[in-house]
């Protein structure tokens, strides 16, 4: 069974940083592209970032580029999202998502989501 | 434009057929994927590629394309199909993933 266990969410002040983690199991993590997708309260889905199987290629939404960093540790089957200079607009439920094939093809398994709240 | 757009609300009578559409120029060269999301739950992939269903998705879900429009059709809608449906694709340079705004499907 594929599992994506997320952690690291919480309450943070504007301008601060937070790192999300996603520990995976049940599939070949080193052979899977991965993504982060977020959902603001009561809103739709917004893709945040994606990373290739080796980590050599990373993609970012314009709204987070330069502030967020996606990375992976294939030896630990873990995906990360380092979020810096957080603002209220970053308040959302963040999902760790496995790619079905190549980066961005389709998103076939989703984590349970972790809530990030940015507020003073 | 690299956007995809969806009608916000669609309804269907129980057992009838409903089509949910996704419009965007990027759909002329890139496939759409479809996800359903029920309240308080993570999204679930229901269709990808030309017309592929992941394991466990009922065959009443099917997909099609015409021009810049991708469609998700549910043949014989069930009460459990009531959800928000999102389409997703990639932009022209494949550097961004794009989601539609979602369609809330009500099964009457």
What's chain A's Rg over C-alpha atoms? Answer: 13
How far is A40 from chain B, CA to nearest CA, in Å? 12
How far is A96 from chain B, CA to nearest CA, in Å? 10
B71: its two tokens: 């469609």
How would you class B88 by CB atoms within 10 Å of its CB: exposed for 0-12, middle for 13-18, buried for 19 or more?
A: buried
CA distances from B69 to B24, B32, B97 (A): 6, 9, 17
Largest Cα separation within chain B, whole Å, is 41
pLDDT, residue B2, reads 76
Residue of B nearest to A4 (CA): B42
* Angle ∠(B35,A4,A94) on CA atoms, nearest 5: 65
Cβ contact A104–B97 (<8 Å):
yes
A·B CB contacts under 8 A: 57
pLDDT, residue B1, reads 66
Question: What tens digit of pLDDT does each residue of A8-25 get?
Answer: 999 999 999 999 999 999
Q: Which residue has the tokens 């889905």?
A: A45
Residue B25: which of B73, B59, B68, B89 has the closest Cα? B68
Residue of B nearest to A107 (CA): B45
Question: What tens digit of pLDDT does each residue of B18-69 get?
Answer: 999 999 999 999 999 999 999 999 999 999 998 999 999 999 999 999 999 9
């Amino acid at each position: 069974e594929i599992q994506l266990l997320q952690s690291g969410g919480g309450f943070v002040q504007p301008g601060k940083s937070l790192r999300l983690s996603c520990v995976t199991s049940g599939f070949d993590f080193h052979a899977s592209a991965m993504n982060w997708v977020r959902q603001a309260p009561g809103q739709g889905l917004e893709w945040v970032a994606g990373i290739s199987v080796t980590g050599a290629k990373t993609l970012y939404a314009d709204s987070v580029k330069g502030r967020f960093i996606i990375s992976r540790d294939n030896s630990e089957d873990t995906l990360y999202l380092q979020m810096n200079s957080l603002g209220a607009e970053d308040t959302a439920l963040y999902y760790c998502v496995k790619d079905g094939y190549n980066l961005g093809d389709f998103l076939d398994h989703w984590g349970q989501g972790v809530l990030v709240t940015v507020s003073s | 434009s690299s956007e995809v757009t969806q009608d916000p609300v669609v309804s269907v009578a129980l057992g009838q057929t409903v089509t949910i559409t996704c419009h965007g120029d990027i759909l002329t060269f890139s496939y759409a994927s479809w996800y359903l999301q029920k309240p308080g739950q993570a999204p679930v992939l229901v269709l990808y590629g030309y017309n592929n269903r992941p394991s466990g998705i009922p065959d009443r879900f099917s997909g099609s394309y015409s021009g810049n429009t991708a469609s998700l059709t549910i043949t014989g809608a069930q009460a459990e199909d009531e959800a928000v449906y999102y389409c997703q694709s990639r932009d022209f340079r494949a550097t961004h993933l794009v989601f539609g705004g979602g369609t809330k499907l009500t099964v009457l």
